[in-house]
Amino acid sequence: MSTHPNILLILVDQHRYDCCGFVGKFPIHTPNLDRLAAEGAAFHQAHTTLPACCPARQAMLTGVKEEKLGAYWNYDLRYATRWIDPETPTWPRALQQAGYQTAFIGKWHASKSHKPTDYGYDSYDGDVPVFKAQFARQMPAYRSGYMGEPDPLPLEQTRTHLEAQAAVETIQQLHAGGRPWHLQVAFHEPHLPCRPAEPFAAMYQPQDIPQWGNFNDDLNGKPYIQRQQLRNWGLEHYTWEDWSNTAALYYGIISQIDDAVGRMLAALEQLGILDDTLVIYTSDHGDLCGAHRMLDKHYVLYDDVTRVPLILRYSRAIAPGSRIEAFCNHTLDLPPTLMDLAGLPPLPQFMGRSLLPLLQGVTPADWPDSVSASFNGAQFGLYSQRMLRTAEWKLVWNLTAEDELYHLSEDPEELINRAEDPACAAVMTDLKAKLKARLDAWEDPLAGHVYFRDPTLGAPAEQVIPRPA
């Protein structure tokens, strides 16, 4: 195994796990992602730690949970929040210090006032200059808002493909440098509004898109904020016929991204370095895109927004066709994994675990049987949530609303809230204990909340509120 592989990290924005061809759930065409999965390892239970762009990207850059960083929500919304200080240790800087050439192309969204070059990247090409000029000159205003529409530009002039071309040229330059390299290519897509170009705009017809299994969720017994979401976006009366066109465009832009990924893989093959390169494809979080009749990703911790594709290809260390069902929180577990595969020690602040044992077919005896995620509000107001998910159950603790409990083995679409079901009381107690342990480990500021007032869960005595006599 090469001690210092090249590292190509492809990070996209709002790609649902189930919208990949190799998953086999929906009729979506992703031949290059399917190839990566066939030639490498695909994680089928990878979940983000916080389904919002800025916090998730800061966690992935540092290997530290968002709340510990003070990154509670997107910094460019109505409420001020922190972004990481340039002095914060990052794994790209560690690679840089170890002799790696480093470069960043595409969507940054991890700091309002600092660029990737302040965190360990030698170069940064944000919105490719040619695209910015074309966008200003040729792109009409969005006619359909967040619901999407075809892109009027030729495919070669779209953002996905200009960024892919910039990536190909950067890979060629890095290869000529004679040292191992790391390149992150961060696509803006498939974040709504989706604007695929031809031939991808017409690849899927709305009438052929299967309805999400949870589209007809009546939201009964669930937090009021979920119904409010529909009102905020004006979606109360949208039918699947209204949504199917947006879903078709979402499929189309994912297939367009896949084509861009294929161009980068072809460049690695032409240079003869594909097998010397660790290729990772993942997303910061998922997307509702009509699931539960909602838009975007706010105020919910459904699998639609927490579960993401995670594929790693590196033939010198990863057996081809590996299907990994073990849970991972990829924003925290990828940083130690990348350092491990690069032959470098983990940074002291890392809060995740290297995935290398799983990639080599070994599941450690103490590997977690659950994942967690959090949300702190943003789009329309602040709203805190903490979640713990096992293979069978999901608990969502909503601090200002009723909790949610879903029996995933019987209700995989998360339609029926069982939190108040007396038959589930023991399950609730068990999941609360596991959630508290996870929040303690993450040094979450809510770990000592009165929610955990049961003395067996370790609540501080001064926070135990006595029940009325």
- The CA distance from 220 to 250, in Å, is 28
H/E stretch holding 270 reads helix 240-270
H/E stretch holding 372 reads strand 371-377
Question: Which of 366, 230, 210, 388 is CA-nearest to residue 298?
Answer: 230
Question: Which of 355, 363, 316, 312 is CA-nearest to residue 332?
Answer: 355
With vertex at residue 155, the alpha carbon angle to CA 152 and CA 161, rounded to the nearest 5 degrees, is 125
* Per-position DSSP letters for 10-61, written without gaps between them: EEESS--TTSSGGG-SS----HHHHHHHHHSEEEEEEE-SSSSHHHHHHHHH
CB 324 within 8 A of CB 41: yes
- The CA distance from 304 to 62, in Å, is 25
Going from N- to C-terminal start, the domains of the chain cover 6-359, 371-463
Residue 468, classified by CB atoms within 10 Å of its CB into exposed (0-12), middle (13-18) or buried (19+), is exposed
Per-residue pLDDT of 64-121, as tens digits, reads: 999 999 988 887 776 767 778 899 999 999 999 999 999 999 998 877 888 999 999 9
| Radius of gyration from C-alpha coordinates of the chain | 22
In this structure, the strands spanning 123-125 and 101-106 are parallel
Q: Which CATH number fits domain 6-359: 3.40.50.300, 3.40.720.10, 3.40.1180.10, 1.20.120.530?
A: 3.40.720.10
Task: Give the side-chain half-sphere CA count within 13 A for 183.
Answer: 25
Q: Which CATH number fits domain 371-463: 3.40.1410.10, 3.30.1120.10, 3.40.190.10, 3.40.640.10?
A: 3.30.1120.10
Give me the residues paired with residue 405 across strands: 395
Q: With H, G, I as helix, E, B as strand and everything else as coil, classify residue 435.
A: helix
Per-residue pLDDT of 183-242, as tens digits, reads: 999 999 999 999 999 999 999 999 999 999 999 999 999 999 999 999 999 999 999 999
Given this model, what pLDDT does residue 127 score?
Answer: 63
With vertex at residue 50, the alpha carbon angle to CA 44 and CA 55, rounded to the nearest 5 degrees, is 125
Q: How far is CA 72 from CA 15, 248, 356, 450, in A?
A: 21, 32, 29, 21
The low-confidence residues of the chain, meaning pLDDT below 70, are 1-2, 78, 80, 127-144, 454-469
- On the question of a cis peptide bond just before residue 346, with omega within 30 degrees of 0, the verdict is no
Given this model, what pLDDT does residue 128 score?
Answer: 61
Given this model, what pLDDT does residue 460 score?
Answer: 47
47 residue type, one letter:
H
- The CA distance from 206 to 416, in Å, is 28
- The CA distance from 258 to 242, in Å, is 26
Task: Give the side-chain half-sphere CA count within 13 A for 309.
Answer: 31
- The CA distance from 415 to 360, in Å, is 36
* Per-position DSSP letters for 322-366, written without gaps between them: EEE-S-EEHHHHHHHHHHHHTT-PPPTT--S--SHHHHTT---TT
